[in-house]
Every structure is written in C-alpha cells, then in structure tokens.
Amino acid sequence: MKPSSSRPSIVHLPQGDWPSVLDCLCARFPAINRATWLDRMARGRVLDAAGLPIGPERPHQAGLRVQYFREVPAERSIPFEARVLYRDEHLVVADKPHFLPVQPSGEYVKSTLLNRLCAELGNPDLAPLHRIDRLTAGLVLLSANPASRGAYQALFRQRRIDKFYEAICPALPDLEFPLWRRSRLQDGELFFLMTETEGPINSETRVEVIERRGDWWRYGLYPVTGRKHQLRVHMAALGAGICNDPLYPTLLERDEREREDYSRPLKLLAKRLCFDDPLTGQPRRFDSELELCW
C-alpha cells in the first residue's frame, strides 16, 4: 500500500503550448512518469478547483488550479518528533527537528510536520504560515483557524515579523561584524538550488557573531527577506558554508545526499520569532527549546 496524502497538493498550470493538462503535469514534474499520472487520473486523484476529476484529454489552460494527491511507494519514516510549544484557537507554534519536512514534498507525505500535527491535534485545518527547510530545525508557525489565517499570513508578506536564526559555520576572522549580505537570488541550473546573480537585490541578511570556538563560530542570522535557501547561500557566499550543508557551497553527489546521516544535521536553527499579534496588538515572542551542538 502506498502512503497517500489526505490533503491535496495544489499547482497552477503555467503558460505553455502543451495540448493537455496531462502533458503539462508530465513536463512540470519530470520525476513522475506519465503512467503514474494516468493511474492517478483514473482513480480520481487529480481534480480541478471545483473538485471535479481531470482526465487525460482535458486541454491545457494556463492558470488552471489543479489539485492532486501525492503518493510515495516506500516512504522513509523520520525518527524525530516535533514539540508543540504553544497553541490557541488561531495559532500553533511547533519546534521542528532536523530532517522533518514542514509539509508534503518530494519523497515525503506522511512523515511531515503538518500531517503529524493534524493527527495529533485533531485539526485538519492546520496550515503552515511559512516554511523552513527540511534540514533546518526550529520554530514553525501554523494557522489553526481559516478565518484568521490571512491576518497572520500578512505578517510574513509585509515583513512585520522578526526572525532570528543560529548557525555554526567556519570562522571569518578577516570580516567585520555585524555585516549585511545583500544580493539577487534566483533559481540555479538544478531546480533544487539557488544562486547569486547580477541584477536588482532581492535578498538581505544581517549577520553577527555570537560565539567563537577556534575554526568554528556560532553566528546569529537575521533574514530581512525570506528567499529559498537564503541563509545557506549567503553564508556560503561569505566563505562560511553552514556546517554539514549537502548543497552549499559544494553539492554532494546524489547517492551521498540520499544516504542521509542523522548524526550530521545541518547546523542551522530557527531560534526566535517576534511580532505584534494582528488580532490583539500584543507583542508575541517564541523561542525554540532546541540547541545546536558543536
């Protein structure tokens, strides 16, 4: 039996000259073969915005909202548990361990923070308000109530939430701190990587030093923007790639990345979140109880 997500994933079809939705999905998700999409369609596992099944002959339409239920044949179980630090009728704050994805993606469906918390708290309406990388540990805010979700999402969209991370990286004795790393980030040649390029700046991180231990330092990172892999790319660009990072600055071979070593977690922790509650106006602060080990 294939583990299957009880919540659909959503994709809006891009512009293109594909003759059908099926052809577009095959191009958009090259790791999923055509036979798999046909099988899902035959079982009613690919739906439009109205919840109606999409068949293999449905013409492609740019912007069409497609819902599909992800399935993974032999999903790896993540042997680490998240801890709920706070919950009320609107918010859930969780301390996520390293290696656990926030929500279904790639080869993970059931072993995700979202699916586990939906089951644990008995709330199918939970939705992450932001994401942190699967390899990153620390704080994740989730909306528990669709009615107030937009107010909390606006905190991130309008940059009205202060985020603080800790990272262990090589020493940078020739640089003066605190410093700001500002650059333009865009997708790399490989779809799962980001890269710095020329052009208008779209990412910014403040970097300070918290502790020095010989060749390794503990850094405090304050992301002003929230681009994919921003902290990992910025530290690597400064010459201090985060300890145990399999992607930056050097991409490990695929078999090394897939042979995941739980004894070597990425030394990056989402340590603190601060904001004024959009419903009450009261200041809120949440701190991770996890620690980065040297």
> 25: part of which helix (H) or strand (E)?
helix 21-28
In this prediction, residue 65 carries a pLDDT of 95
Average pLDDT, integer, range 158-176 = 97
Distance separating alpha carbons of residues 206 and 268, to the nearest angstrom: 15
| Beta strands 161-170; 83-87: pairing state | unpaired
State the span(s) of the chain assigned CATH 3.30.2350.10.
Answer: 83-160+275-286, 164-269
Domain 164-269: state its class. Answer: alpha beta
CB-CB contact of 230 with 259 (8 Å): no
Q: What is the pLDDT of residue 191?
A: 82
Please say if the pLDDT value at position 1 is more than 60: no
Exposed/middle/buried for 132, CB within 10 Å: 0-12, 13-18, 19+?
A: buried
Query: Residue 273: its pLDDT value, please?
Result: 98
- Amino acid in the structure at residue 282: Q
Exposure class string for 209-248: b at 16+ Cβ within 10 A, else e: beeeeeeebbbbbbbeebbebbbbbbbbbbebbbbebbbb
Average pLDDT over residues 70-94: 90
- For the domain 83-160+275-286, what is the CATH superfamily, name and number? Pseudouridine synthase (3.30.2350.10)
Percent of the chain beyond pLDDT 90? 81
> Across the chain, what does the average pLDDT equal?
93
Task: Provide the strand spans (E) within the chain.
Answer: 9-12, 46-47, 65-68, 83-87, 91-96, 127-128, 137-143, 161-170, 179-187, 194-197, 203-213, 216-223, 268-276, 283-287
Residue 160 has pLDDT above 50, yes or no: yes
Confidence of residue 18 (pLDDT cuts 50, 70, 90): very high
Distances (CA, A) of 144 to 152, 162, 210: 11, 21, 34
**Fold entry, domain 9-68:** 3.10.290
